Amino acid sequence: MLEGEIDLGDDVVIGPYCVLKGPLRIGAGTRLIGNVVLQGPLELGTANSVYPGASIGFAPQWSDSDHDRPGPGTRIGNGNIFREGVTVHRAMGEEQPTRIGNRNYFMVNSHVGHDSSIADHCVLVNGVLLGGHVRIDDRVVIGGNAAVHQHVHVGRGAMISGLTGPTLDVPPWFMITGINYASTVNMVGLRRSGMPAEEIADVKWVYRTLSTRRLTRPEMLAALAKRSEKAIVSEYIDFIEASARGICRSTPDRRRK
């Protein structure tokens, strides 16, 4: 069933029992395999694949929100795969849509909450739950049945193990193996990214610096400032300065006075 304003690119495939409610724009080469429900406002780019049972663009699961208000909707890039039962909710705010970039893989029954932002080349394994306003940077991998608390920022290249999850921000390339516990760095991801060995060594130094002592935020920034001329270290400084929740590491934050 097609309803409302719907703009279809070349070679779009709409399988049986799909329901599309505009306004929708679907790019060339996208496949809706069957039993897919899309709710506008929604922009879905080129060469995406959406499997049966996926629902994209519906209102947030927020008891006080107006489910009939379309808002800024949902905006999705190119080459993404949405497997069976994936749900993506549109934005609750007034300005920015829920955003998904390019070439991400959403496995069975994973969920993207309202107002979230996902960059490129990320993998969400079966049953992953992202709360509202979550920000996921490039090349993040999240294991099965993991959950990310609302408003958390996950830095590029980070990995979150299955059956766990953060309520604090996850620095780039850190690996989360417990609740807010970063046990190591994502060495497999670092090597696959093509990062030079010198920069990988800097990432490991940052991890040791942040995790071997119970440092306050000013102390962390002061310690990293010793190598701030290195681009990768400067990235960590910017990440920590911007963090509103505190960061995951292997030692807890010192209690603030």
- C-alpha torsion sign, points 51, 53, 54, 56: positive
Picking from 9, 44, 10, the residue whose alpha carbon sits closest to that of residue 24 is 44
pLDDT of residue 93: 83
Per annotation, catalytic residue among 71, 127, 132, 165: 132
**Per-residue CA distances from 96 to 86, 103, 133, 164, 238 (Å):** 21, 21, 11, 29, 23
Please provide the DSSP assignment of 98-122 as one string: EEE-SS-EE-TT-EE-TT-EE-SS-
Per annotation, catalytic residue among 114, 133, 149, 153: 114
Please provide the DSSP assignment of 171-222 as one string: -TTEEEEETTEEEEE-HHHHHHTT--HHHHHHHHHHHHHHHSS---HHHHHH
Q: Is 64 a catalytic residue?
A: no
pLDDT of residue 257: 35
Q: Using an 8 Å Cβ cutoff, are 162 and 145 in contact?
A: yes
pLDDT of residue 63: 78
Ordered by where they begin, the domains of the chain are 2-136 (2.160.10.10), 196-242 (no CATH)
* Full pLDDT tens readout for the chain, 257 residues: 899 999 999 999 999 999 999 999 999 999 999 999 999 999 999 999 999 999 999 999 987 777 788 899 999 999 999 999 999 999 998 889 999 999 999 999 999 999 999 999 999 999 999 999 999 999 999 999 999 999 999 999 999 999 999 999 999 999 999 999 999 999 999 999 999 999 999 999 999 999 988 899 999 999 999 999 999 999 999 999 999 999 999 976 544 43
Q: Is 15 a catalytic residue?
A: no
Picking from 189, 216, 215, 213, the residue whose alpha carbon sits closest to that of residue 200 is 189
Per annotation, catalytic residue among 71, 89, 101, 115: 115
Q: Is 121 a catalytic residue?
A: no
